[in-house]
Amino acid sequence: MHGDETVGREILLHLIDFLVTSYGRDPVITRLLNNTRVHIMPSMNPDGFEATKVPDCYYTRGRYNRNGEDLNRNFPDAFENNSAKIQPETRAVMDWIKNETFVLSANLHGGALVASYTFDNGNPVTGSLKGYSRSPDDDVFIHLAKTYSSNHASMYKGMGCDNRQTFPEGITNGYSWYQLEGGMQDYNYVWGQCFEITLELSCCKYPPEDQLGKFWRDNKVALIEYIKQVHLGVKGQVTDKNGNPIPNAIVEAKGRPHVCPYRTNEQGEYFLLLLPGTYVINATVPGFKSMLKTVEIPDNTGNFSALKQDFSFPEVSAKISSRVASCPKTPLYQELTRASAAVKPTIHVLALMTIMLAIFK
């Protein structure tokens, strides 16, 4: 994302080479690619990379794009209005997210050594007053971050890059580290229905060329193990009485409501990343009775296939199955906070009225 943070760019090129040369030779990589669509974007900010004329471990103007904008502060934010003008690179990525059914992703950075997970921003609804901004899928995000750090050569040690900063087990909640508005990982989770973490891969942002090979070796296993996690949880298809797919049906795990409900794609497919356990999956087609199914989710990452659970709505016909639904790119959590605040005075008024009635009696 940042042009002067070059390690991620380099190891993704190595990853592409490793995947295509290992396919058909390595049974694990072959099964992984036979069962997984993998998209790799080595650089989101090529102009920033080209602008970095003098390598520096700490900071250069190459962090920003040609217009001087930080792309990881440029996305719509779920907690506050982001006044930054959306850049061409950001818009391209937003369109990419909209047109694909991404389930799991990571964005790569340098300047630290840690796996950071959503939320990067927060408010009292997500627990920010306690210094931690918790998503409904916090347990899954912790697992994803630990999967990467524990398979990295040294990230799991949590040593950080100096004596002032340590990260237990090599992971951190983004907000606990520092508050960030307009970040990509929060955008992906809220509006892209995609679980994304931020990987900080090197203390030095632009290290010497002779160190790049070691960075690839340090991250190789972690990258593969992380990709496997896309097969966590449950997936399936929602169809009508004729077996036609129903797009935009809401499918959520009970007790894990997303502020922008997760919906099926054009093929009626849904994907929910969940840790092994028992869950109630709720499928809803607007205007019709919801369908609940209890599922026991195993750890299927080694089999490269999440548990499959389909839903068929016999009363739904294809004529009404293509209703368009989407969440506005507005601070949804800010609106949720206002809604909560609007309810609280009512409780106080009721309590006051009860006390007054008791006094009058």
Q: Which of 181, 200, 209, 269 is catalytic?
A: 200
C-alpha triplet 9, 10, 14: angle, nearest 5°: 120
250 SS3 class: strand
Concatenated DSSP letters for 7-30? HHHHHHHHHHHHHHHHTTTSHHHH
Computed on alpha carbons and rounded to an integer, the radius of gyration of the chain in Å comes to 22
Do residues 131 and 125 touch, judged by C-beta distance below 8 A? no
What's the rounded Cα separation, in Å, for the pair 318 and 93? 31
Give the list of residues 6+ apart from residue 55 with CB closer than 8 angstroms, or none.
Answer: 6, 206, 207, 208
Do residues 316 and 241 touch, judged by C-beta distance below 8 A? yes
Active site residue 200: yes
Name the DSSP letter for residue 117: E
What's the rounded Cα separation, in Å, for the pair 166 and 172? 10
* Residues labelled as active-site residues: 200
